[in-house]
Chain A
Amino acid sequence: MIYGTTSDRPRRPAPPIRRILQWLGILPGLIFTASLVSAAERWDIDTLMAALSRVEGGERRFTEIKTMALLKEPMRLSGTLSYRAPAFLEKRVLSPFEERYTVDGDSLTIENPGKGIKQTLSLASQPAIWAFVESIRAPLAGDIETLNRFYKVSFGGSERNWLLALVPIEPDMARLVRFVRVRGSGDRIDRVEIEETGGDISIMIIEHRP
C-alpha cells in the first residue's frame, strides 16, 4: 500500500528452555520456519491484493516527473496524495502551482482556487480518464476485478519488491497509453510509471518516510 500502516507480526514469547524438552522444541521451530518460507514464496497477486485491501488509508507526499515531447524540459510536480478506502483519492499539487484533483466514487473534481476553477465530471462518461484513475485507485483498494476490467494485468517480483504491469484494454485508453507499471513492497505502493503511445513518460514516486 502506499500507506503501509499494518504493524509487525507479534513475536511468540520464547518457550521456557527445559533441558529435557529442548530437542523436542526443535521440531515445532522447524515447522514454523518452513511455513514462513513457503508463505514468502506464495506472495502472488491474490496475496498482494488482499494485503492492499486491508489498508484503510492515509496521506503521503509524492513527486511526479512528466517528460513530454512538447516541453523543453520535464515537468516536476510535487504535493500530497490521500486515500480513504475504498473509493476516495485526492491528489493535491502544491508545486509549481496549486491544484487539487479529487476522485470519489464516480466523480472527478478538478479544483484550482487561484483561478476560481471547479469542474466535476463523471468517470463513466470519460472511459479513458476512468481507466487512468483506476490504474492507481484499484491497486490502492486491492480491487483486482476493476483492474481486470480495464487492463491486462501481469504480476512479478517478490513481497519486498513487486511489480504490477497494466496494459490497457479499454479502447479509448489503449489509443493514448501504452502501459502503466505500479511498483511497491508489501502493502505499500512506491512508484507509478505511465508510458503514453506518443512516447511521453510520467513517473510518480510516493514517499513513505515522513
Chain B
Amino acid sequence: MRERLPVFAWLVFMAAGAWVALFRTPVSTDLTHFLPKKAGIAEQILIEQLRHGVASRLLLMALEGSDESDLAAISRRLAERLRQDDAFVRVDNGTQGLSAADRNFLFENRYLLSPKVTEQRFSPEGLRQALDARLAELASPAGLLGKEFLPRDPTGEFFEALRVWMISSGPSLRRGVWFSPDGRRALLVTETKEPAFDLDAQAKAVASIRESFAAVKGNRPVELLLIGPGAFSVEANAMITEDAVRLSLLNSVAITLLLAAVYRSLRAILLGLVPLATGALAGTCAVSLWSGGIHGITLGFGATLLGVAADYPNHLFTHVRRGESSRRTVQLIWPTLRLGILTNVAGFAAMLFSGFEGLSQLGVFAAAGLLAAGLTCRWIMPALMPDHINLSERVVRGLHADELLDRLRRFRLVPPLLILAAVASIAGSGTPLWNDDIDALSPVPESRKALDEALRRDLGAPDLRQLIVVTGDTGETVLRRSERLRGILQPLVDSGTMARFDMAALYLPSRETQSLRRSALPETETLRRTLDETLRKTSFKPDAFEPFLADVSRAKQAPLLTETSFAGTSFRLKVEPLLFRHGELWVALVPLVGVTDPAALQAAIAADRSLIYLDLREASSRLLRDYRREAVHLLGASLIAIVILLSLGLRSVSGMLRVLTPMAAAAFVTAAVLMRLHGGLSLYHLVSLLLVMGLGMDQALFFNKPSRTPEERNRTLLSLLICSFSAVTAFGILATSKVGILNAIGGTVATGAALAVLFAAMLARRNSSSA
C-alpha cells in the first residue's frame, strides 16, 4: 500500500492538473506580456496599435490573371458580397466614393472645413477672383460638375473641403474600380471587425473572402492574392500547425522505433512519456496559478525547454540490471539525476525575476515542469515500471565504454580550444551576435512580404510603420498641437524628407481654427454690398448668388464641429483611428509615409515634448532587444546559481570543469555555427541554446557519475547514446521544417545535442575501477 500512495497522489495531481490546464487556463497571445512592466506611453501605444490598430485589421486583396473588364466585374461582385458580411467593418474597391450623406456633410460645413476660408476670400478682390475662376470653369468640360453648387458656393469652399479628403483617396480607377498603376491587378481593401491576433475570427474572415471569391469568379481565369497581418497569421498558423503535426508524427515514429529496438517493451516506451507529460502539465498549472493564464509563446518555448526531461526515463531504464529492483536502480542514479534537475531548475528560476511577464512565465514553466518530471521519475516511475527491462545484454557488453572513452579522452583539450575558437569567430564575424530585427522572428515568407509591400504601394496605403504620437489632456489640445505639427511637417514634405503625412486635424480642424474661419465670414449686408459691386463687372446675373448669401449668414451662426460630429458619415472611419482617448490622455496618431531622413524629422519635432516619434518596427525591435538582453543577463545569474549547486553537489573543481566545459563548448560552438549561417541569433536560437546547455549539463553529469563496474559504465554510455540520439533525431526532423521558428529550434538543438554528448565524453572522468 505504501508504494501505491505516491502513484495515487500522482493520479490525483494529474487529474486536477488536467482540469486546471484545460478549463482554468486561458491561453493568450497578448503581446503586452512582452512589454517591460514599466512601459512608457509610446510602448503602450505601440502595442495597442499592433493589437487593435486599423493597420492590424486590414486585409488587402488583388485580383489578377484576366482582362480589365473581368477583373473589374469580379471586384464589384466580390465587394458587394463582402459588404453583406458582419466580419468586415468596411470593404473598399473604389466604387463607393463619397456617399450622399458624406457630400452633404462636407457641403453643409464647408465654411468650417475649407482651409481657404479667410477674410480676404470675401473681399472685393477675393470675390472677383473667385467669380472669374468659376466663369472659366463653366467653359471647361469639368464645369458641368460644379455647376449645381455654383449659386450656393461661388468661392468653391465645397471643393476645397472635398480636396482635403481626396488627397488620400487611393489608387487609380479603371472601369470604376481600383486598379494597380499597370492595370494588371484590381485592388480591394477590407477592414475586419476583429484584430489580427484573434486567429479564429481572422481565419473566418479569410475563409469568407475565399468562399465569396470562388462564388463570384465562375470559370474565369482570375487569381486572388490576399495579404495583411490577419491573413499572414492565419497562414503562418496553418503552416506551423501542419508542419508541427507532420513532423511530430514522424518524430514519434522514429523515436518509438529507436526505443523499441533498445527496450523491446511497449510499456517502457509508453512509460518514457510519463515524466515529460507530467512536467508539461505541472508547468502549465504553475504558470496558470502564478499569473492567471499562460501565453502561447510560453507554452511553445517551455515545451521546448522541457526536452531535457525526455532523458530521465532513459537513464532509469538503461541502468536497471538483471535481478535488481527498479527501486534500487533509481536510488543509485538519483544523486546524479537530482543534481542535473536542480541545476536546471536553478538556471530557469533566475528568469522569475524578469521585468517581462513573458520571460518570468517561461522561467516558472520550465522550473516547475522539470521539477515535476524529476519527482515523477524518482517516485512514480519505479512503481509503474515492469520488474524487468529486457535490455539486450549483447548491446550492453558490446559497448566497451571504457575503451571508447579512453580513446576520446585523448581529445580532452579540444572542447576548451573550441570555446576559444568559437568566441574568436563570433567576435571576428563583424556582425552583432544578436539579430533583434522583429522580422527575423516573423514566420511570413519573404515572397509574401514583398507582395505586401507592392500592394500597399499600389493602394497608397500607409503601413503605419512610422508615426508621430501627439498627446494632450483634451481632444482640442491634441488637435491644436497637431495643427502646429502640420506647420513643421509640411516644409519637410516640400523638401522631400518625407512623402506624405496624415492627421485627424486635416479633417477635423481644432475648434480654435474653426472659430477663426467662422469669424472670417462677413456680415450678410457687407457681403451683399461687395457681391453686388463685383457682379456688375462680370457676366453673371445680379441675382445669381442669392442662395450664397443665405448660406453664409447661416454658417456664421452654425455650431462648431467636434469629435462626434462625424457620426453617420464615412469620415468617422478615417478620423477615429487617428484621434482617440488612451486612459486619461487624448492621443492623435500622425502616420508618416516615405520618410527618407528620420534624423532630420526627429530633430524638427524634438523641441515639443508632447510629440513622440515612433518607428513601429524599430520600437518593436527595441522591445525584443530588451527582452533578449534581460534573458541573457538572467542567464548570467543562472550560471552563478548553477556553479554554486554544482560545487555543492560535486565538491571538486575538476569535476565542475568536466561538467561546465562541454556545456559551454556545445553552446559556443553551436552559436558560432549559427552566426556564420544566419548572421545573427534570434530569440528562438537563444531558447534553443538554453535547452542545449540543459542537455549538455545533464549528459556531462552522467558521464562523470561514480560507477562501480564497467558494465554500469556501459549502461550509462548506452543511456547517453539513446538520449542524444533521440534528441538529435527529434530535433533534426524539426530542422527540416520550412517554417522559420521550427527550423531554427530544430537545427540549433540537433547540432548542440550532438556536440554536447561528444564533448562530455571527451572530458569524462577516468574511472579507477576499470584500471
Contacts and interface: CB of A to CB of B under 8 A. Distances in A.
Interface of A: 66, 68-73, 75, 77, 91, 93, 97, 99, 101, 106, 108, 110, 112, 121-122, 124-129, 132-133, 176-177, 196, 198, 200
- The size class of the interface chain B forms with chain A is 20 to 34
Interface in B294-335: none
A108 B541 CA distance: 30
Given A70-B150, A70-B540, A71-B541, A177 B144 contact: yes
A170 to B, nearest CB: 10
B142 A66 contact: no
Contacts of A177: 144
B539 interface: yes
Contact of B141 (A101, A122, A127, A196): A101
Interface string B516-543: 0000000000000000000000011100
A70 B138 CA distance: 10
A125 B144 contact: no
A176 B136 CA distance: 19
A129 B139 contact: no
B544 interface: yes
Interface in B99-158: 135-136, 138-142, 144-145, 147-148, 150-151
Contact of A106 (B141, B151, B174): B174
B172 A133 contact: no
Interface in B146-176: 147-148, 150-151, 172-176
Q: Majority SS of interface residues in chain A? A: mixed
28 contacts: A70-B151, A70-B541, A71-B541, A72-B540, A72-B541, A73-B539, A75-B539, A91-B141, A97-B136, A97-B139, A99-B140, A101-B140, A108-B141, A108-B142, A110-B140, A110-B141, A112-B136, A124-B173, A127-B176, A128-B144, A128-B145, A129-B141, A129-B142, A132-B144, A176-B144, A176-B148, A198-B147, A198-B148
Contacts of B173: 122, 124-125
Contact of B176 (A112, A124, A176): A124
B144 A129 contact: yes
Nearest to B535: A72
Nearest to A103: B141
A75 B147 CA distance: 15
Contacts of A108: 141-142
B145 A75 contact: no
The 8 closest A-B pairs by CB, nearest first: A125-B173, A124-B173, A70-B544, A71-B539, A124-B174, A72-B539, A72-B541, A176-B144
Given A70-B544, A129-B145, A198-B147, A122 B140 contact: no
Contacts of A125: 172-173
Nearest to A125: B173
Interface in B527-569: 539-541, 544
A101 B140 CA distance: 8
Contacts of B139: 66, 75, 77, 93, 97, 99
Contacts of B140: 99, 101, 110
A121 B169 CA distance: 13
A198 B141 CA distance: 16
Contacts of B540: 70-72
Contacts of A124: 172-176
Given A75-B138, A129-B144, 5 more contacts: A70-B151, A75-B135, A99-B139, A110-B142, A129-B142
A69 B544 CA distance: 8
A196 B144 CA distance: 9
A145 to B, nearest CB: 12
Interface in B185-215: none
A121 B175 contact: no
Contacts of B175: 124
Contacts of B135: 75
A112 B539 CA distance: 20
A129 B141 CA distance: 7
Contacts of A121: 142
Contacts of A70: 138, 150-151, 540-541, 544
Contacts of A200: 147
A69 B141 CA distance: 18
Interface in B208-245: none
Nearest to B179: A124
Contacts of A99: 136, 139-140
Nearest to A172: B145
A108 B140 CA distance: 11
Contacts of B176: 124, 127
B141 A132 contact: yes
A205 B135 CA distance: 21
A37 B174 CA distance: 45
Contacts of A112: 136
Contacts of B544: 70
Contacts of A126: 142, 145
Contacts of A128: 144-145
* Most interface-central of A68, A91, A126, A128 (chain B CB within 10 A): A68
* Most interface-central of A70, A110, A122, A128 (chain B CB within 10 A): A70
A9 to B, nearest CB: 37
Nearest to B545: A70
A122 to B, nearest CB: 6
Nearest to B543: A70
Interface in B251-284: none
A121 B140 CA distance: 13
Nearest to A97: B136
Contacts of A72: 539-541
A75 B138 CA distance: 9
B3 to A, nearest CB: 84
* Most interface-central of B144, B147, B150, B151 (chain A CB within 10 A): B144
Contacts of A68: 138
Contacts of B136: 97, 99, 112
A101 B142 CA distance: 10
A162 B141 CA distance: 25
Contacts of A133: 141
A74 to B, nearest CB: 9
Contacts of A101: 140-141
Nearest to A197: B148
A91 B142 CA distance: 13
A97 B138 CA distance: 13
Contacts of A71: 138, 539-541
A91 B141 CA distance: 10
A193 B464 CA distance: 51
A72 B535 CA distance: 10
Contacts of B151: 70
Contacts of B138: 66, 68, 70-71, 75
* Most interface-central of B136, B139, B150 (chain A CB within 10 A): B139
A84 B701 CA distance: 90
Contacts of B541: 69-72
B116 to A, nearest CB: 16
A182 to B, nearest CB: 16
Nearest to A64: B139
A122 B173 CA distance: 8
A131 to B, nearest CB: 10
Contacts of A127: 176
Contacts of A69: 541
B172 A122 contact: yes
Interface string B323-359: 0000000000000000000000000000000000000
A70 B548 CA distance: 13
A22 to B, nearest CB: 61
Nearest to A70: B544
A200 B544 CA distance: 14
